Structure 1
Amino acid sequence: MNRPVDVVVIGGGQAGLAAGYHLRRLGIDFVLLDAQTGPGGAWRHAWDSLRLFSPAAYSSLPGRLMPPQAGRPSPDAAHVTEYLSAYERRYELPVERPVRVRAVRRDGERLRVETDSGVRSARVVVSATGTWWRPFLPAVPGSDAFRGRRLHTADYRGPAEFAGQRVVVVGGGNSGAQIAADLAGHADLTWVTRREPRFLPDGIDGRALFDAATARRQALDAGLPDTGGVAGLGDIVAVPPVRAARDQGLLKAQPMFTRLSAHGPVWADGTGADADVIIWCTGFRPALSHLAPLGLRDRHGHIPTAGTRALGEPRLHLLGYGDWTGPASATLIGVGRPARDMAKEIAARLS
């Protein structure tokens, strides 16, 4: 067994680093376990053309502004990865990698963290594993019959490999719109959405989204009517590539099909389309399998929390999975505040 510590943080992406920053500031003994081979978390695996919604300065973790990227008002994924790597070094965060956590179990007054490189014992565990590692694929009749390739957002890297192919992109959110825009002009594109795409006004960026998410959380906490948050504004941020493809008439969405045949999608009226590839931009689910031994999930797959603290296990905190673990906590700009509040709560418990 490795040296016992006060806190084990699981996950070395943006949420884990924000947690580490605030734990270090409070002088708490912790270790950060990351399954990846290098810094950057999910950003290491994003598609090449992915852009942030906001300028670098408004996409920063606590303590250090993200530097601008030359020639790009909104940085790309590679720039974010470089920033997170520099962030680790700047604050000398105690990251161990690659270490994959298999299970967290109760062990008397402590929690037992079982990994592929040994066991850690902690008084508190912070789970910050995000969602990228658990892509969601909806059940569609005929999926097994389709003879083409079936991919997910997590598998997409760029348009080059799809040149001249018949590609169906499924999903009316940001990833669906961005990947459809990326493929427009390179592939024979069909973009499919469950409802008419809702583009946010062109001036809306990550700053406005963070403010909307925060206002919604504050309203709910105060018992006021739900403002709708980000969803009340729309579904798709019109980043420059999406805006350009939209304005050129290249993003014409088709309604969702009802089934798949061997050759491609089939709609309710019986019409069909041939496809070589279907890319499912249908989102992700929280990566929480390592917490299964604690038996905390509700019927929706979430772990009920008060702030970041798990209601069923007060020695466990969850950070960065979405609004249910802090307003906009799945974003670079949004994760700092819940990480700060969490670290203060952990410090109070340890004392």
Structure 2
Amino acid sequence: MYKKAILPIVFVVTCILFSRIAADSPRELGKIKWKRDFPKALLLAKKENKPLMVLFDEVPGCSTCVNFGQGPLQHPVVVAAAESEFVPVVVFNNHQGKDAKILRKFGEPSWNNPVVRFLNHQEKDLIPRRQKYSSEFLIKQIAKALKAAGKEIPLYLQLALDEYETKNLQKATFAMYCYWSGESKLSGVEGVHYTMAGHLQGYEVVDVYFNPQVVAYSTLVKRAKNLGCSSRIFARTTQQLSTAQKIVGKKAVYSTQKSAAASSRDQKYQLRRFPQYYYLPLTHRQVNLLNHALVNGKNDYLKYLSPLQIKLSKQIRAQWPSKKIAALKPQRSMKNLPGYYAELYNALKRIDN
């Protein structure tokens, strides 16, 4: 008798879960709007000429499933790529019926930890089936899958990949009359990864972290001079000092003293003037490029943003001024972006379908 009473309830709950996937995803699925019908998703992938991004997952699931959903699957770069570059579809590995059939078809075990696979239109893996539970791993897998599918890596994804290539960055420090202006100008130099406004020995300065494989220090000094950002150059090594003195003479001095960071309100000041972009979940590279483009006559700045970020910017603009949004503290590190995106998502109340 009790079993007969319970079965209809289970059926209703299951139907509700299936119907709400797009609007209010379970925690295990992050913020991606997953398709639930694999055959229809395959047809859509062929129609739109996109590869498939398939998540085999346990819903409701264990802590690994939940953490994966609230971490990598909530990362704004992953969400953007999944929804724009792929047709995303989820297969529950702890359900019967259609899910179980798809599971058997691809040899996936039931009641298993999450597995993300990337398939072509022949339902073959674009890259080998591997799984780790970090945003870095998933973002790099997404890029590999796109390359394997013969697709171009979109700029927003390439900028995200750059965030994981910071080991060889070098620091240069330039003084100018105003670090607001200095940051926006130096951010536009190719090879500059990110900047920080600060104070050093009575000067307003900008610490520039750059990739020497893209821009030589001598080129950076010349650009800083031409941009009016070289009233003083604090060389961080004797080699930098020698190079800088050949270009600006006595304006270059050697110093290992760290710059005192300017207040958060003075960092990327130009970008702060545009709340629809400032409050986006941006990477360091995107922040720098926007901080330069928005005030230097660059009309193509939207190219640095993902389709998701462009949608969010319109929502922020439509709701501004907003106390909830203004209270947010934007995070720029790849590690903290999933959490910040969730905060922004909640502040915006809802994401339009």
Q: Report the TM-score, using the length of structure 2 for normalisation.
A: 0.26
Instruction: Look at both structures and tell me which one has the larger radius of gyration over its CA atoms.
Output: 2
**Larger strand proportion of the pair:** 1
Greater relative contact order (Cα 8 A, min sep 6): structure 1 or 2? Answer: 1
Q: Report the TM-score, using the length of structure 1 for normalisation.
A: 0.26
**Larger helix proportion of the pair:** 2
